[in-house]
Amino acid sequence: APGLYLVATPIGNLEDITLRALRILGSADRIACEDTRQTQKLLNHFGISTPTVSYHLHNEGPRAEELLLQLKQGSRIAVVSDAGTPGIADPGHELVTAAIAAGITVYPIPGANAAISALISSGLSTEQFTFHGFLPAKEGQRRTALEQLPRDHATHIFYEAPHRILDTLADIESIFGSTQSVVIGRELTKLHEEFLRGTVSDLRTQLSVRASVRGEIVLLFSPSQNESAPPSRSIAAEVAALMQSESL
Ligand code: SAM
């Protein structure tokens, strides 16, 4: 059927492509790519010869109009990013809103996503979670973003660059304390996949003894999971309760 197909691709392990993704990529009129060279490698691997068109951040605007025109004429356009789910810390959203406004059907073709993969194996609560994408690169803005996180039971999920992870952990330690539990998921679905779990100070030590930190990283923590967790009642509530029992 004509429409816009948002196709998730692997985040490392090529076996994570779905049967449906292969069928849609193989039968679409065009594949709109974040980076055509990157996607071409995937298509070559699976023997798919559908024409590709670039759709990276810099041309998202004008290209969106061109693709929209083709969609209105009944084309089937598949959208992919370099890895994982399009639109999640990746381009794609502008085309989706434009397609919806033009009355074009938008089909999700689900598959790999680094945030959800890290979350389900982290051991942290999956009941409530917030995905924040990348933290700001500048220290001041990053600290402000961390300070403003709600301190409830939700798990906060971030994407982080390997060359910034030690600085970010230092910020977390100074804001939430050295006993804050943190999980790092690195190189998920790849040969050197690993999960590091522990207090923020443990993880800083573990990573800083390495010659360098490489690869792709998801960082997760819940401010409610701190080894020196404050009492569930605030000090004020505690005092009020004591005074009440004294007066009885
Ligand atoms: N759209 C992608 C998705 O669905 O997960 C995310 C794209 S974003 C530009 C790239 C970031 O995602 C990386 O810098 C890293 O933080 C995270 N990421 C992607 N693949 C990963 C993997 N295999 N292991 C750990 N993190 C990954």
**What does the alpha-carbon distance between residue 150 and residue 138 come to, in Å, rounded to a whole number?**
21
**What does the alpha-carbon distance between residue 11 and residue 7 come to, in Å, rounded to a whole number?**
13
Distance 71 CA to ligand 1 centre (A): 29
In short, whether 6's Cβ falls inside 6 Å of ligand 1 is no
State yes or no: pLDDT of 117 exceeds 80: yes
State yes or no: pLDDT of 231 exceeds 60: no
Question: What is the reported pLDDT for 178?
Answer: 97
Of 221, 42, 208, 19, nearest to 118 by C-alpha is 221
**What does the alpha-carbon distance between residue 48 and residue 28 come to, in Å, rounded to a whole number?**
10
**What does the alpha-carbon distance between residue 217 and residue 166 come to, in Å, rounded to a whole number?**
12
Distance 93 CA to ligand 1 centre (A): 17
User: Which pLDDT tens digit goes with each residue over 50-67?
Assistant: 999 987 656 656 677 889
In short, whether 91's Cβ falls inside 6 Å of ligand 1 is no
Question: What is the reported pLDDT for 229?
Answer: 59
- pLDDT (mean) for 6-12: 98
Distance 105 CA to ligand 1 centre (A): 27
ipTM: 0.99
The mean predicted confidence, pLDDT, of the chain is 93
φ, ψ for residue 130, nearest 5 deg: -130, 130
User: Which pLDDT tens digit goes with each residue over 124-181?
Assistant: 999 999 999 999 999 999 999 999 999 999 999 999 999 999 999 999 999 999 999 9
In short, whether 154's Cβ falls inside 6 Å of ligand 1 is no
What tokens were used for 200? 């923020």
